[in-house]
């Protein structure tokens, strides 16, 4: 029997009633189809964007990003104020950062988390006050620590014992007192991809709970260090609040123990709040995470008889992810026989002009995405399809399963949703593909966030390469 398209699709993927429809839970707020059937984002046509800035192209809906930043900050501020404390929200710049993005973040009252000299330099270039920056990293170099202390960052998160002496000595040589936190590996298992879970036992981040008191005593023995409190980041793309609740339950007794020997004004519970990538995802609102986490903090503090600390959070993806889309141009298309037994079982492979170099998440984490034909609408039937890149890897898949119209053709433009986070920042030059441009769109205006990399700029790192 001939397979229907739906039999090739995973169970979570249903056949769209309208293959041109835009799901508001996945696409940016300003992503609309105009009367001609073409998509406009931020009031600009995708075809015009690609004509001017090239393909592939990353597009950030500026209003969507900023409104997400505001909603997230407001959610934590309001949940914290209900338990008589305050919140500090650090935008995780590793998810997406450019100097313009830093400006949006700073102007909306968020702080910023960086985890390398490069991210720090970019944050400073974007103009955020150094005191609002937190530095992370499991292997900060001495020069990175030096740059951070010199800049006057608001906090450094200590990830291993050796950093205590390093930060103390650098601060001392600069005659400064440096605020520090200590990252705890609480052993909480977040329900997410293995490589996105950062607090289970057998991994590289943080310090085991049992070792923390001794290390905090060491921190406190240095007059150049000021201990702010504990830090925990349990993972990323998390949909369930349980891991955060468990983290609170494990960290607050330790926090109480540390209060016996000195002040512990803050508790940093990290980021990791999940977003929708496909119609099957139902990520909770950040306000849900914020209120559940804060009420657990209040309950535990009451039971332990301690004051509620200032609460810090580090969301990245939930702000930047859904605000971004990547536009690609369709190249080759083939129906691939998927079983040697049955010549009729075939899957439509749609190749686009980017791939794992601009979005490695499907190959890294088996991440799912959604795709849409954006240069026109189509009256053709939906066909289960696989959107693949142009790299020399069979795992170079951008959207493993989606429905596209059966008449999808070379030169059509396709958009992939929710690529604002961990795509530009994870991009590579694999197969010597130059990295695409990134633009912000707002009310019909376009601002370049990142120029497209030219082939000669990319290749000229090789001293033997001669510019033609």
Which residues are the active-site residues? 392
Closer by beta carbon to ligand PLP, 153 or else 408:
153
Q: Bridge-partner residues for 388, per DSSP? A: 351, 397
Strand (E) or helix (H) holding 114: strand 111-114
Member of 76, 239, 273, 289 binding ligand PLP (CB under 6 A): 273
Closer by beta carbon to ligand PLP, 367 or else 413:
367
Member of 206, 243, 316, 355 binding ligand PLP (CB under 6 A): 316
Pattern of binders to ligand PLP over 76-95, x per CB under 6 A? ----------------x-xx
Q: Do 159 and 145 contact (CB within 8 A), yes or no? A: no
Q: Does 233 bind ligand PLP (CB under 6 A)?
A: yes
CA distance 434 to 427: 10
CB of 104 to ligand PLP, least distance (A): 16
Member of 236, 247, 278, 291 binding ligand PLP (CB under 6 A): 236
Q: Does 154 bind ligand PLP (CB under 6 A)?
A: no
Residues sharing a CB contact under 8 Å with residue 437, sequence separation 6 or more, in sequence order: 53, 54, 57, 58, 448, 450, 451, 452
Q: CA triplet 415, 418, 423: central angle to 5 degrees?
A: 90
Member of 126, 154, 271, 382 binding ligand PLP (CB under 6 A): 271
Member of 126, 206, 272, 436 binding ligand PLP (CB under 6 A): 272
Member of 270, 355, 360, 362 binding ligand PLP (CB under 6 A): 270
Member of 136, 181, 250, 424 binding ligand PLP (CB under 6 A): 136
Closer by beta carbon to ligand PLP, 109 or else 434:
109
CB of 354 to ligand PLP, least distance (A): 22
End-to-end, the C-alpha distance of the chain in Å comes to 56
Stretch that binds ligand PLP, among 17-25, 245-253, 270-278, 347-355 (CB under 6 A): 270-278
Give the burial class of 72: count Cβ atoms within 10 A of its Cβ; 0-12 exposed, 13-18 middle, 19 or more buried: buried
CA 214 to chain centre: 33
* Token pair recorded at residue 22: 């835009």
Q: Does 317 bind ligand PLP (CB under 6 A)?
A: yes
Q: Does 324 bind ligand PLP (CB under 6 A)?
A: no
Cα distances from 198 to residues 40, 189, 233, 273, in angstroms, run 38, 8, 7, 13
CA 416 to chain centre: 16
Q: For the packed helices 162-173 and 212-220, what is the interaxial angle rounded to 10 degrees?
A: 10
Binding site for ligand PLP (CB under 6 A): 92, 94-95, 113, 136, 198, 233, 236, 270-273, 314-318
């Amino acid at each position: 029997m001939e397979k229907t398209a739906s039999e090739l699709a995973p169970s979570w993927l249903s056949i769209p009633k309208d293959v041109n429809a835009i799901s508001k839970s996945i696409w940016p707020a300003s992503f609309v189809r105009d009367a001609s059937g073409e998509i406009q984002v931020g009031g600009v046509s995708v075809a015009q964007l690609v004509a001017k800035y090239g393909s592939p192209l990353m597009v950030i809906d500026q209003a969507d990003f900023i409104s997400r930043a505001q909603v997230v900050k407001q959610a934590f501020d309001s949940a914290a104020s209900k338990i008589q404390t305050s919140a500090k929200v650090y935008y995780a710049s590793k998810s997406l950062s450019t100097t313009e993005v830093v400006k949006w973040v700073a102007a909306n009252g968020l702080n910023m988390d960086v985890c390398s000299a490069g991210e720090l330099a970019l944050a400073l270039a974007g103009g955020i006050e150094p005191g609002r920056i937190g530095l992370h990293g499991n292997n900060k170099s001495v020069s990175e620590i030096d740059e951070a202390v010199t800049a006057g960052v608001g906090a450094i998160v200590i990830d291993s014992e050796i950093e205590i002496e390093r930060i103390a000595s650098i601060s001392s040589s600069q005659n400064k007192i440096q605020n520090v936190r200590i990252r705890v590996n609480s052993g909480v298992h977040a329900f997410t991809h293995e490589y996105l879970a950062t607090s289970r036992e057998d991994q590289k981040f943080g310090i085991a709970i049992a070792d923390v008191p001794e290390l905090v005593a060491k921190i406190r023995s240095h007059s150049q260090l000021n201990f702010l409190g504990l830090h925990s980041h349990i993972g990323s793309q998390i949909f369930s609040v349980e891991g955060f609740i468990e983290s609170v339950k494990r960290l607050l007794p330790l926090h109480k123990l540390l209060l016996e020997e000195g002040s512990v004004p803050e508790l940093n519970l990290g980021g990791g709040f999940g977003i929708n990538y496909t119609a099957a995802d139902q990520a909770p609102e950040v306000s849900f995470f914020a209120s559940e986490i804060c009420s657990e903090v209040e309950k535990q503090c009451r039971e332990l008889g301690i004051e509620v600390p200032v609460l810090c959070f580090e969301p990245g993806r939930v702000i930047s992810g859904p605000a971004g889309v990547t536009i690609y141009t369709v190249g080759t298309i083939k129906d691939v026989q998927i079983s040697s037994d049955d010549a009729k079982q075939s899957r439509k492979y749609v190749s686009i002009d980017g791939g794992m170099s601009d979005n490695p998440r499907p190959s890294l984490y088996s991440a799912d995405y959604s795709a849409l034909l954006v240069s026109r609408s189509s009256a053709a039937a939906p066909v289960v399809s696989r959107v693949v890149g142009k790299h020399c890897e069979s795992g170079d898949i951008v959207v493993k399963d989606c429905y596209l119209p059966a008449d999808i053709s070379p030169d059509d433009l396709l958009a992939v949703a929710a690529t604002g986070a961990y795509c530009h920042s994870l991009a590579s030059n694999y197969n010597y593909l130059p990295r695409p441009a990134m633009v912000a769109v707002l009310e019909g205006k376009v601002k370049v966030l990142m120029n497209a990399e030219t082939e000669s700029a990319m290749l000229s790192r090789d001293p033997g390469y001669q510019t033609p």
